[in-house]
Amino acid sequence: MTATEPSTAGPRFDGRRGRWVGASVPRHEDPRLLTGRGRFVDDIALPGMLHAGFVRSTVAHGHLTRVDLTAVRAVPGVVAAYDAADLALGDVVALLDRPAEEFTPTAMPVLARGKVRFVGEPVAIVIARDPYAVEDGIEAAVVEIDALDAVVDEETALRASATVHDEAPDNVLLDVSMFDTPGVDAAFADAALTVEVTTRSGRQNALPLETRGAVASWDARDDQLLVQTCSQVPHQVRTLVARCLDVPERTVRVTVPDMGGGFGQKCVVGREEIAVAAVARRLHRPVKWIEDRREALTAGFLAREQRYRTRAAFDADGRITALDVDVVCDMGAYSCYPFTAGIEPLMASAELPSVYRVPAYRVRGRALTSNKAPTAPYRGVSRPQYVVAIERVMERAARELGLDPVEIRRRNVVTEFPYTGVNAVTYDPGTYRESLDLAEATIRDEGWYDVRDAGDRHVGIGYCCFSERTGYGSEAFAKRRMTVVPGFDLSEIRMDTTGAVVVTSGTMNHGQSHETTFAQIVADRLGIDPGRVKLRQGDTERIAYGWGTFASRSVTIGGSAVALAAERLGERLRHIAAHLLDTRPENVDLDGDGGVVVLDDPARRLSYEDIADVAYLRSHLLPKDVEPALTATASFDVPGDGTFSNATHAVVVEADPGTGAIRILRYVCVEDCGVVIHPQVVDGQCRGGIAQGIAGALFEEVTYDAHGEPSAASFIDYLVPTATEIPHVSITHLETPCAFTENGAKGAGEGGTIGAPAAVLNAVNDALRHTGVELDTTPIHPRTVLDALEGP
């Protein structure tokens, strides 16, 4: 383990032969994105292309009594309009392999059928010659709804005065008591201190700046539907489109161009993508749908609304002796594919003990359905919430016991690895304690405690220490008992006659710089310049299957698969070169400069071009046991419970007694994502994640009124932080290489978002420490802060 500042961007880990891994090389993606030559879904124009839009429910809950599209079809420019009965598509169904008392299967129709379940739910699709005529057509639709009471929160859901899905009369889609280990009650009985904290997080939008969208077209020659969409999971889109249309999967090809962010909102399959595909196939015309911002805010997949009631027992020294937690997640109107409505409570239940040694653990997790837009697993999934729960518990206990908040964490944090927790998860080595110590030392050395204790301002310091499981392999996902189990990733590598390389991955870049970082990994394995490596993703014809990009899995799993494929190609190059150089395979090696060299006679060498020339154009010269072509394939899966990145965030805030606004004075992140492939990119992931975490802590929320009407339909109502709200963030990297990924990396995509809410919330509470008020809900509204400062 070494501590390094991000700016010292030299190579420091040899990915076997490392020259490129560890260096902040120029991003391969930048030139096209900076000059307007990127291609996003809405940039695609096909001959004869039509445009689609959706008639959406204006009522949160009700029976559809009439859908009349006659007037729509008469609008100038409108080509067609369809409702659920017209398209007759299969439903979207995501399942868990769990008994009926734990999980209730429900279906999401592609277009609403019989009932509407949230404001914004698609009822009909309108096709027209341009997007303006689409809007005219949508306005002409006649939709009559017999309104029912809306389920809008935990109370109305559990009271069950209205039922969102008939299959779930109590509005509970998942109810799992995952752990009740021996000794929980005894620990509470013997506790020197018991604390109970109820934490809540508001409903948020992951908010990729590029909204969702798709262009579908039918190729009559190939007998194939092409769906160009912005999805983090192209293969899952293909699988579900084929199932909903009831066609062979071969007849569907999904490709993904440049993507303007996703953050999880695009890691589930949207019903609109399926409807657009169905219409293109029916009309034999290309059809484009681009979600507008109002739709994205109200009808896109939302996230985060959760409530945790956490009871914790402590001994007199501040050591935690038991946890008893009740988790309730408001998943909205439908279960998302492929993850299901169970994803949030199941992840929270499995991982809630976090970075602490917890001897006894009881947890119940529930997923509720409500008349709100459905949810998708947003960056961090339930970790930002359960980390808030456990970190608030630590703060409360520290206060009750008169301990320093960092000291109580030190007494509880896991320090011996591998560590198998009460939750039956084995944690690989990390720097939990080291990151905590370093973050605190930084804040102390910079004098922030003196600023806080000067007493003339409302300044507070907050910490958050956490880990993040990143490499969820199929074994780890199987424990969750989904019927669709993500995990592995595939890669194929090809070298052409000029020695340049194309490598595929089932992961899906949407801002994470895969084209650069994967090229660095391959370049080191083959000893070539990263500029010689082109990454191909996002084409279901090029990759047999893949699980896309989510859960910080890309570099850990996808990056390992490309490393292995490159390694195998290297073996092939050595084998052929040895034959051509008339020596033993053990007597040659890759020379790190695009060739193979004879070890005992380094003057003798073949470049990759020389070898490729034989492999393709003069294959009669190949060894008898070698097939033509320079290709290799590999798969990679993470064994066991996966790997854990970790970090400590430390935040200094100041509350404004005039406005209640919270200003962040200092933000320190000490993180360990294993081997850093590209320091600048990792810093970018941390900072961007932290910005989204701050957004959740202080600004963003979609609320609903008692009728299920959402509050935020524009950026006037949904407060996205800007350059003046997000502070400078300094980042220090600790490196604990992962023992079982090919490149030692652990994944860095989500950590920032996970740590920020708890760190900010703790800092605000510290700033309010003299008021007697403790806040456990995010976002923190200025009014709440003002009320606390003004007192009763």
Residue ranges binding another protein (CB under 8 A) = 24, 26-27, 29-40, 42-43, 45, 131-132, 207-211, 258-261, 263, 292-293, 510-513, 680-681, 683-684, 687-688, 690-692, 714-716, 720, 722-726, 728-729
Q: Give the nearer residue to another protein in terms of CB position, either 342 or 684.
A: 684
Least Å from the CB of residue 687 to another protein = 4
**Beta carbons of 440 and 406 less than 8 angstroms apart:** yes
Please report how the helices 514-526 and 559-580 are oriented relative to each other, as an axis angle in degrees rounded to 10. Answer: 30
- Please say which residue, 255 or 680, places its beta carbon nearer to another protein: 680
Residues with Cβ within 8 Å of 96's Cβ and at least 6 positions away in sequence, in order, are 102, 103, 174, 340, 342, 480, 481, 482, 483
270: number of CA atoms within 13 Å, CB side?
Answer: 31
Q: Is 461 helix (H, G, I), strand (E, B) or coil?
A: strand
- Burial of residue 248, with CB atoms counted within 10 A of its CB: 0-12 exposed, 13-18 middle, 19 or more buried: exposed
**Cβ at position 422, least distance to another protein in Å:** 35
| Minimum CB distance to another protein smaller for 89 or for 669 | 669
**Structure tokens belonging to residue 113:** 């059928």
SS3 content of the chain, % helix, strand, coil (to 5): 30, 25, 45
Question: Which residues lie closer than 8 Å to 625 by C-beta, 6 or more apart?
Answer: none
Tell me whether residue 37 or residue 159 sits nearer to another protein (CB atom).
37
DSSP 584: -
Residue-wise DSSP of 356-384: B--S-EEEEEEEE--SS--B---TTTTHH
Task: For another protein, give the closer residue by CB, 348 or 756.
Answer: 756
Nearest-approach distance from CB 379 to another protein, in angstroms: 10
How many of the other CB atoms lie within 10 Å of CB of 663?
A: 14
373 and 118 Cβ atoms separated by less than 8 Å? yes
For another protein, the closer CB: 66 or 728: 728
Least gap, CB of 714 to another protein (angstroms):
6
Helix 343-351 and helix 383-401: axis angle, to 10°? 40
Listing DSSP states for 189-211 in one string gives: HH-SEEEEEEEEE--B----SSP
Closer residue to another protein (CB): 34 or 147 = 34
Judged by beta carbon, residue 258 or residue 434, the one nearer another protein is 258
- Do the beta carbons of residue 224 and residue 245 sit within 8 Å? no
CB 174 within 8 A of CB 346: yes
**Cα 20 to Cα 521: distance, rounded to the nearest angstrom:** 7
CB-CB contact of 563 with 522 (8 Å): yes
Choose between 595 and 693: whose C-beta lies nearer to another protein: 693
CB of 468 to another protein, least distance (A): 18
- Minimum separation from the CB atom of position 724 to another protein (A): 4
Instruction: Count CA atoms within 13 Å of residue 713 on its CB side.
Output: 7
- Residue (576 or 702) nearer to another protein, CB: 702
Least distance (Å) between residue 389 CB and another protein: 25
How far apart are alpha carbons 605 and 124 in whole angstroms? Answer: 66
Q: How far is CA 369 from the centre of its chain?
A: 22
Kindly tell me which of 41 and 274 has the beta carbon lying closer to another protein: 41
How near is the Cβ of 288 to another protein at its closest, in Å? 10
Shortest approach of another protein to residue 227 CB, angstroms? Answer: 20
Please give the single-letter amino acid code of residue 386.
Y
CB of 259 to another protein, least distance (A): 6
Q: Which amino acid is at 513?
A: S
Q: Which is nearer to another protein, 210 or 492 (CB)?
A: 210
Q: Give the whole-angstrom CA distance, residue 101 versus residue 168.
A: 11
The distance of closest approach from Cβ of residue 508 to another protein in the complex, given in angstroms and rounded to an integer, is 12
Residues 6+ apart with CB under 8 A from 456: none
Q: How far is the CB of 39 from another protein (least distance, A)?
A: 7
If the CB atoms of residues 39 and 63 are measured against another protein, the closer one turns out to be 39
Q: How far is the CB of 364 from another protein (least distance, A)?
A: 34
